[in-house]
Amino acid sequence: MKAVVYDRYGPPEVLRIEEVARPVPRDDEVVVRVRAATVNRFDCHTREANRSNGLVITCVPEAALLAPVPAGVGFAEAAAATDGALNALWCLRLAGPVQGRRVLVYGASGAIGTAAVQVAKHFGAQVTAVCGPAGVAVVQAIGADRVIDYTKEDFTADRGRYFSVFDAVGKESFAHCRGVIEPGGTYLATDGPRNLLLGLWTARFGDRKVMFKLPPRYTQQDVVLIKELMEAGRYRPVIDRVYPIEDVVEAARYVETQQKIGNVVLAVSDS
């Protein structure tokens, strides 16, 4: 079967397609047939770390993070379903109950951001989304109550307005966002070792908290919830582009431009 492999750290060009043996499941495993997969910023960041982990095959434990493909959903959309949504669920649950509260999602047009807008709405929040001009229409279409184009408007002018600020792209800072968070509110981080230290510090001092815990704790029930939300029409992953698996280098290059809207997907053919 086809697989994307690499054996040294470097730019997208270190990726290549190889034929590898089909996995044989043990008694407590299932074989997952990969028909599509996403390419995201974490893939780009962790090529070096992943190299030491060995070949990743498609056999997984029965209790792993998996669920049947949602009814009526294609392979590309199914592949993109959990990439951002699991991160969004994890972070928003750290914030505490957000029903009826105002939540700002910074970087709302990315994979995590588009999921966070929809998950926050599912939890009953009033959502303000911040993104660039190319993402405004998309973020409006998935249900944001208000959209701020950061090239035209400064979201930090909303002093003390939000219960939570969700930095979905790891480009903001608690210091910059603190003024828009109401007393007792939270800054939800998705990246940056400094946020681990800030989480410890703000847990003891101050009236606004940084929430960032590693590793994230995802469950199979979270995947089932995402499936159910998709089947109910309450969540849909946003897909920017779909590449054939043979174009993985080009897909990775595009992700590294940091201009994608939602998810980039690799499609795997039957051959």
For residues 159 and 124, state if they share a domain.
yes
In a domain, 74, yes or no: no
pLDDT value of residue 89: 96
Tokens standing for 195? Answer: 């946020």
pLDDT value of residue 179: 96
Which band of pLDDT confidence, cut at 50, 70 and 90, is reported for residue 11?
Answer: confident
Mean pLDDT calculated for residue range 154-165: 94
CATH code for the domain in which residue 188 is found: 3.40.50.720
Torsion over CA: 39, 44, 49, 51 (sign):
positive
- Segments forming the whole domain that contains residue 8: 2-66+239-267
> Where does a domain end: 171, 196, 211?
211
pLDDT value of residue 47: 54
**Number of domain units in the chain:** 2
2-5 and 29-31 as β-strands: parallel, antiparallel, unpaired? unpaired
For residues 27 and 134, state if they share a domain.
no
Query: How confident is the model over 93-143, as pLDDT tens digits?
Result: 999 999 999 999 999 999 999 999 999 999 999 999 999 999 999 999 999
In a domain, 220, yes or no: no
Beta carbons of 170 and 190 less than 8 angstroms apart: yes
pLDDT value of residue 111: 95
Q: Taking the CA of residue 245 as centre, how many other CA atoms within 13 Å lie in the half-sphere pointing to its CB?
A: 19
pLDDT value of residue 56: 52
In a domain, 193, yes or no: yes
CATH code for the domain in which residue 8 is found: 3.90.180.10
Beta carbons of 228 and 68 less than 8 angstroms apart: no
For residues 124 and 171, state if they share a domain.
yes
In a domain, 143, yes or no: yes
pLDDT value of residue 66: 86
For residues 96 and 204, state if they share a domain.
yes
Helix spans in 66-173 (H): 75-95, 111-122, 136-141
Closest CA to 147 of 206, 203, 104, 86: 104
Mean pLDDT score across all residues of the chain: 90
Q: Which residue has the tokens 């405004």?
A: 136
pLDDT value of residue 44: 63
Asked whether residue 219 carries a pLDDT value surpassing 50, the answer given is yes
Q: Which residue has the tokens 């599509």?
A: 36
**Helix (H/G/I), strand (E/B), else coil: 28:** coil
In a domain, 216, yes or no: no
For residues 174 and 202, state if they share a domain.
yes
**CA–CA separation, 168 and 189 (whole Å):** 7
Which band of pLDDT confidence, cut at 50, 70 and 90, is reported for residue 52?
Answer: very low
For residues 89 and 146, state if they share a domain.
yes
Asked whether residue 214 carries a pLDDT value surpassing 60, the answer given is yes
Asked whether residue 198 carries a pLDDT value surpassing 70, the answer given is yes
For residues 9 and 97, state if they share a domain.
no
Proportion of the chain above pLDDT 90, given as a percent: 69
Mean pLDDT calculated for residue range 220-244: 95
- In Å, the largest CA–CA distance within the chain is 58
In a domain, 162, yes or no: yes
Closest CA to 81 of 262, 243, 214: 262
For residues 32 and 107, state if they share a domain.
no
b/e burial code for range 151-178 (CB count within 10 A of at least 16 → b): eeeebeebeebbbbbbbbbbebbbeebb
Q: Which residue has the tokens 């190299």?
A: 51
For residues 52 and 99, state if they share a domain.
no
In a domain, 60, yes or no: yes
Which band of pLDDT confidence, cut at 50, 70 and 90, is reported for residue 32?
Answer: confident
pLDDT value of residue 7: 77
Closest CA to 252 of 4, 49, 56: 4
Asked whether residue 87 carries a pLDDT value surpassing 80, the answer given is yes
**Whole-Å CA distances, 71 to 12, 14, 46, 58:** 34, 37, 33, 22
For residues 181 and 261, state if they share a domain.
no
Number of DSSP helices (H) and strands (E) in the chain, helices first? 9, 13
For residues 16 and 126, state if they share a domain.
no
User: 66 or 183: whose pLDDT is higher?
Assistant: 183
In a domain, 217, yes or no: no
pLDDT value of residue 228: 96
For residues 45 and 145, state if they share a domain.
no
**Helix (H/G/I), strand (E/B), else coil: 117:** helix
